[in-house]
A = this chain, B = another copy of it.
Amino acid sequence: MDYTRGPEGADEAISPFAERMSRVPRSFIREILKVTEDPKTISFAGGLPNPRFFPVREVAEAAQKVLRESGEAALQYSTTEGYLPLRELIVERYARKGLKVDAEEILITTGSQQGLDLLGKAFLDKGDRVIVEEPTYLAAIQAFGIFEPKFRSVPLKEDGIDPRALAVALSEGPAKLFYAVPNFQNPTGVSYSEERRREVAGAMRGHATVFVEDDPYGELRFIGEEAPSMRRYLGGRAVLLGSFSKVISPGLRLGWACARSDIMERMVIAKQASDLHTSILSQRIAYQYLVDNDVSQQMETVRSGYRRQRDLMVKMIEESFPAGVECTRPEGGMFLWVTLPENMSSLELFDSAIKNDVAFVPGQAFYANGGGYNTLRLNFSNSDEERIVEGMGRLARSIEEMM
């Protein structure tokens, strides 16, 4: 007897799916990653850190210590807010940057992606307005998209969002959230200058819109001076999202939200409904790792590695790409952004690149309201130098073939 096929059959009509399911964009990147699984393809499409820099041995030591010294607690249910010593450690890290927050304002999340889901739950009714950068982080569109808001895109310039365009967007009606990645944005690698941050804060004055400052890459600065968090200008109207994915590793799925108490209260309720709490084993391992190791030295290794990879990628573009192709010069992070001549389609380029065994993400994937047809995102963090030289050579050939 085949139990899978019950008496009423597996294809029988079921309840219709929620309306949102017809609107949440399929992850274009996800589809692309499938195409690029062929091992001979050199992929600049993903958004992965370089596993060469993962502190595997140190994490293993931390795991042993945690399980030896507090095994039962590390395997039991835990609090929704997160492991208090880890929250306090995040507070200390902010304090070293001149940002004063309370441990009560820190919520440990299952990756910083979950912070977006919880903010959507806390703030978004169907039809609410959300302002996003153009281009923007695709997974934020997906996370907020679940709650069926209207997205309003504001163009990103080379030193941050255009404050006048932002003021216009804000004046069109109340927007619940403004979502931005001010440091080494995904997908462009662009950072907001200090002046731009001040102007953005100025544009937001008089509006109740909450600034969602997503900062997964802030620690990956390899050029220039750190710019202040938007929280320094906006106080509790800025919600910060942070991540251990780049400081330790993504496999732990550990991020946090830093939010003033009334927002925090709603996010905690939302998190309880979502997954009760984040793995306490992961949290304790991360804490132990951070306490027992010199993280600044580890981060220095990662930053100098990424800088070499980024420099090499930019140099390859300058030297071997045809005239008319431009790119950003990120001061940190994992991505850079290429603009082709206006008449060239990056989707078409993608097809010819795949034939040359190299991959990237066509830029239109990051436009909430369409556009960006001649742009593309390149990831430099996940490829060692040899692969960058070979892959960028293949990409240059693909562009030449198209022109």
Contact = CB atoms under 8 A, between A and B. Distances in A.
A263 B14 contact: yes
A282 interface: yes
A208 B3 contact: no
Interface stretch (A187-195, A245-253, A304-312, A394-402): A245-253
Interface residues of A, number: 114
A13 B272 contact: no
Contacts of A6: 201, 231-238
A233 B7 contact: yes
Interface centre among A116, A177, A249 (most CB of B within 10 A): A249
B99 A71 contact: no
Given A113-B275, A233-B6, A278-B253, A60 B71 contact: yes
A48 B52 CA distance: 39
Nearest to A142: B273
Nearest to A97: B3
A238 B14 CA distance: 10
Contacts of A24: 269-270, 273
A18 B125 contact: yes
A367 interface: no
Contacts of A72: 51-52, 54, 56
Given A14-B236, A56-B72, A60-B68, 18 more contacts: A5-B235, A6-B238, A10-B236, A10-B237, A16-B208, A27-B272, A52-B72, A54-B71, A54-B76, A56-B75, A60-B67, A63-B64, A63-B67, A78-B251, A110-B110, A113-B275, A117-B274, A253-B280
